[in-house]
Structure 1
Amino acid sequence: MGGAPRETEGEFEFRPFRAWSSVAILLIFSLLSILDRQIISLQVDPIRRSLGLSDTELGLLQGFAFALLYALAGLPLGWAIDRYPRKILLHAGITLWSLSAAATGVARSFWQMFAARTSVGIGEAVLAPAALSLISDLFPKERVATPLGIYSAGFYLGSGAALAIGAYVVSHFSGMDRIVLPFAGQVERWQAVFIVTGLPGVIIALLAYLLFDPRNPGASTAKAATQVGFLSFVRANRTILAISFCGFGLSSFVAYAIGAWAPTYYMRVHGMEAADIGPRYGFILALAAPGAIAGGILTDSLFRRGEKGSNYVVAGLGTVAATPFLILAFNASTAINSMTLLGIGMLCYGFTAPGPYSTFNRLAPPELRGRLMACFVLFHAFVGAGLAPVVVGLVTDAVFGDDMAVGRSLTIVLGVALPLMAALLYMAWRSERTPPADGGTNRDADSPLSAHIWANF
């Protein structure tokens, strides 16, 4: 993403303490963002009873409402991240999404909750482009996948934390006949969960000012004007970008489908309570975190050994290894068998997490990374957060017409998405082994790369 371009290797000074301390702060922000994004998955049935919603409407709240402005806001924010102080943008975004997450807890109707969820999306749209931009500027190219893997582990740690913290808060309020909170007044239990988990982010947002930003303020805009234009870059690399967007977009689709509906599956099909699901399912999701970290380390290691497509190799192998476990998990006869299979599958699937970040870091020059990542965030949000929860809900409502069939819906959706994702990553890896026709970064110059890919697929 956006940072001062490194004109020569000699200009880059790697400062380990500042770099890794910034990664730690960004990881905290990642945990917080996923907590506020995913906490709704533990409240599906209480919200449905309270507001009288269908599974399709709940899918819209979990996915499309969040993704709508999360995606659209990403484009102007990516442009801003390439030019303006990232600390200030991060602080503003975190404050906005935290207040909006808390506002979800005072919603009294579908549309009020929809509006609050879209505001969460606007605030969170700044995080991924800014984090990739900053990490890419803090680490040399041959080491960057490892910190990106650690950062991406925040998605799974945050999902686990959302369930564990949400379960604790639900349990804490379970014995109370009336819950009265300052400013909000009397609220239901599910509303209290949103308020209590959302507001602390306003304080945590201040950590943004402790980040180390190596970019010289005011220098990036002038330099970016002399570099290749963004549209020219996209046009010159359109095939590999299209395949990468689709492949890694499906990785988001799978993660959101599972994250949005697995807790509901355990409550409906296996009769578990939310307070019991939270810690167990949270631990399962957290198993993907070591996979993400190991995936980043392995990607860096293979890259240093000459495998330029290591980001696709690691993500593709992780997808293939995870597929049977993730599909079988929602067909197991008991909750313990299901959770065991899901845990193994998530550990393998974690290896895909560093893939998109390391891919776009390597493909784009520094002055274009903010906009490229923002474009991927838009696509990622549409395919993952926007479509996945709704698709699963629609299959349950329209195909089966049975709330208890949510496990079969997940089986169908994952059974299509995972093999398609593996195929796309294989295609991208094949394309990476073909040098650009012009000898530089123009991968589509003078020769139809897409024809080459299909010829070797």
Structure 2
Amino acid sequence: MHALISADKPKSLGVGIRPWLVLAMLSALYTFSLIDRNILVLLIGPIKAQFQINDVQIGLLVGTAFAVVYAFLGLPAGRLADRGNRKLLIAAGAIIWCLCTIASGFAGSYAILVLLRLGLAAGEAVLTPAAHSMIGDLFPPEKRSLAASLYMSAGLIGPPLAFSGGALVISSIEAAKVGGFQTDMQTWQLALFAVGVPSLAVAVLFLLTTREPQRTVEPGTPKSLVKGEVIRQIISRKRLYSGLFLACTFAGGCSYALNYWVVETLMRDFGWTAVKAGSTLGPINLVASVVGVMGAPWMTARLKARGRRDAVVLVCMGCMATAFLSLAVGPILPSATLRLALIGLGTAAALGGTTNIVVSMQEVAPARMRATFVALLFLGITLLGAGAVPVLVPMIGEISQSIGLSRGLAIVCASLSGIGLLLLWWIRDAFEREAIAGFPVVGARI
């Protein structure tokens, strides 16, 4: 079968429709990956009842089990993406995570559910590093930041859709059962099957209709990475890269904490059902995701146009300060309306800070290292955000009866955003100096 969508490198600023169609499918895959990843948040209650587990074990299931594999496979996946066929890598990973999502509905024990969660993480680990590498070769320099921002924006719509769409799926399944639909499977099992099948369809479509793009080669540099080159590049600017990587990690940690535990705190503090919590939080997260993911890069571009070479760091500092102020008090407010308003603001800020740093890799990372650098960013985000935070929040909440899950969430989010703000302030001068120098590649022949 001949490919319907060519991803050949554009020859001019008039990119054409085909790279945008490839970007649309990459974005759809990212969205579905986050739906499949986050759907368990709405199913905490029935899963706890089914397997007789506690909050910490839930944290291990939805977070740590996923994070360990996702984080440590992301880096080798990034290296593969910088060298091999990114189309096949993405398609294979997508098919694996979709099948694991579907199979999770048939898990007969907590241990099997954890193993399938590991498989889902392995499949998803390849997507974002390879996608950013493809985007860098699909679009000319003037359009790369926009394309990368659109990818991140579409992908981060996933959690809101998991909440709203998941609530709709659950309510539809329950209504069908009341209407006479007969099955031995429980609602949470059917929900996993319902979200896994559409993801699989998009993965197959991407495999059949996309071609591998031609790689960008920087003048005077070899096409492939030389052994140790990434390490030398990072060491040469260790303050800059360490600050960006850690700040991105802490901002991402805030987002993960909110994604995993806000629904449960609403159910416990206000007596809401999973359907009500998910359907209410979904639109709020959707707006917050679009505002944060698109707004932060837009503000950065405006500041750059005015001559601020440190625009990336300035905007990220503003995002982290907003997240700190919003999330230190938002999760513990007694009013559901005010709580959700501040959580929405904090979500937008945390996502904006994370996205702005990831998008900046199109500028601060050499072309042949983009996938590896993005993989390093997601390594940190995943280890802390998806690995430690889901367990840390309930652990802090269980210290004493006076703290509780909501206060544990506020403490974790305020701490992460505050530290991230300090890190960005620390590297601001270094970023401006490197921006003036044009972020030269170590060892490049000019």
| Alignment CA distance shift 1:89-1:433 (3 Å) | same
Cα shift at 1:134: 1.6
Q: Indicate whether 1:149 and 2:149 are aligned.
A: yes
Instruction: Give the letter for the 1:107 counterpart.
Output: A
CA contact (8 A) 2:323 2:414 kept: no
Q: 2:330·2:338 contact (CA, 8 Å) conserved in 1?
A: yes
Counterpart position of 2:113: 113
Q: Give the CA deviation at 1:316.
A: 1.7
Structure 1 counterpart of 2:87: 87
Query: Number of paired residues?
Result: 430
Bigger drift between 428-437 and 409-418 goes to: 428-437
Cα distance between partner residues in 2 of 1:48 and 1:244: 37
Paired residues of 1:312 and 1:429 also in contact (CA < 8 A):
yes
Report if aligned partners of 2:22, 2:210 keep a CA contact under 8 Å in 1: yes
Q: Which amino acid aligns with 1:239?
A: R
Q: Does structure 1 residue 192 correspond to structure 2 residue 193?
A: no
Q: Which amino acid aligns with 1:379?
A: G
Q: Please say which of residues 85-94 and 315-324 is displaced more in the overlay.
A: 315-324
In the other structure, the counterpart of 1:45 is: 45
Quote the sequence identity (%): 26
Equivalent position of 2:3 in the other structure: none
Equivalent position of 1:454 in the other structure: none
In structure 2, the residue corresponding to 1:187 is in which secondary structure?
coil
User: Matches of 1:389 and 1:179 in 2, distance apart?
Assistant: 35
Tell me what 2:424 maps to: 425
The equivalent residue for 1:393 is 394
| Cα distance, 1:225–1:93 mapped onto 2, change above 3 Å | closer
State whether residues 18 and 212 of structure 1, in contact with CA within 8 Å, keep that contact through their aligned partners in structure 2: no
Letter of the structure 2 residue corresponding to residue 366 of structure 1: A
Question: Quick one: which amino acid aligns to residue 262 of structure 1?
Answer: V
Deviations 1:157-199 (A, max 9, x none): 1111101121112112224279766xxxx22111111111112
RMSD between aligned residues: 3.0
Q: How many angstroms does 1:83 deviate by? A: 1.6
Q: Distance in 2 between matches of 1:439 and 1:133?
A: 20
Offset, 1:409: 0.7
Instruction: Kindly indicate whether the alpha-carbon contact (under 8 Å) linking 1:270 and 1:334 is maintained by their aligned counterparts in 2.
Output: no
Q: Amino acid of the residue matched to residue 193 of structure 2?
A: I
Q: Report the 3-state secondary structure (helix = DSSP H, G, I; strand = E; otherwise coil) of the residue aligned with 2:309.
A: coil
What is the CA distance between 1:73 and its match in structure 2? Answer: 1.3
Conservation of the 8 A alpha-carbon contact between 2:41 and 2:62: yes
Structure 1 pair 63–228 and aligned structure 2 pair: CA distance change class (3 A):
closer
Aligned to 2:261: 261
Aligned equivalents of 2:306, 2:19: Cα separation in 1: 24
1:145–1:297 CA contact under 8 A, matched in 2? no
1:201 to 183, 199, 221: 199
Q: Which moved more, 1:348-357 or 1:200-209?
A: 348-357
Paired residue type of 1:43: L
Number of the residue aligned with 1:31: 31
**How does the TM-score come out when normalised to structure 1?**
0.86
Say which SS state the counterpart of residue 433 (structure 1) adopts: helix
Any idea what SS the aligned residue of 1:306 has? coil
Q: How does 1:44-443 map to 2 (within 5 A)?
A: 44-175=44-175, 176=177, 186-209=184-207, 210-211=209-210, 213-215=212-214, 223-225=223-225, 229-288=229-288, 289-397=290-398, 399-400=399-400, 405-435=404-434, 441=440
Aligned to 2:433, what secondary structure does the other structure show? coil
Q: What is the Cα deviation at residue 249 of structure 1? A: 0.4
CA distance in 2, matches of 1:114, 1:179: 29
Deviation at residue 87 of structure 1 after TM alignment: 1.4
Tell me the amino acid that sits aligned with residue 56 of structure 1: V
Deviates more, 1:315-324 or 1:134-143: 134-143
Q: What letter matches 2:375 in structure 1?
A: A
Rounded to whole Å, the distance in 2 between the matches of 1:419 and 1:12 is 43
For structure 2, the residue ranges without an aligned partner over 5 or more in a row are 1-6
Structure 1: gaps (5+ residues): 444-457
Q: Is the 8 A contact 2:217 2:367 kept in 1?
A: no
Q: Report how far residue 19 of structure 1 moved.
A: 3.3
**C-alpha distance 438-167 of structure 1, shift in aligned 2 (>3 A):** closer
C-alpha separation between the residues in 2 aligned to 1:361 and 1:242? 17
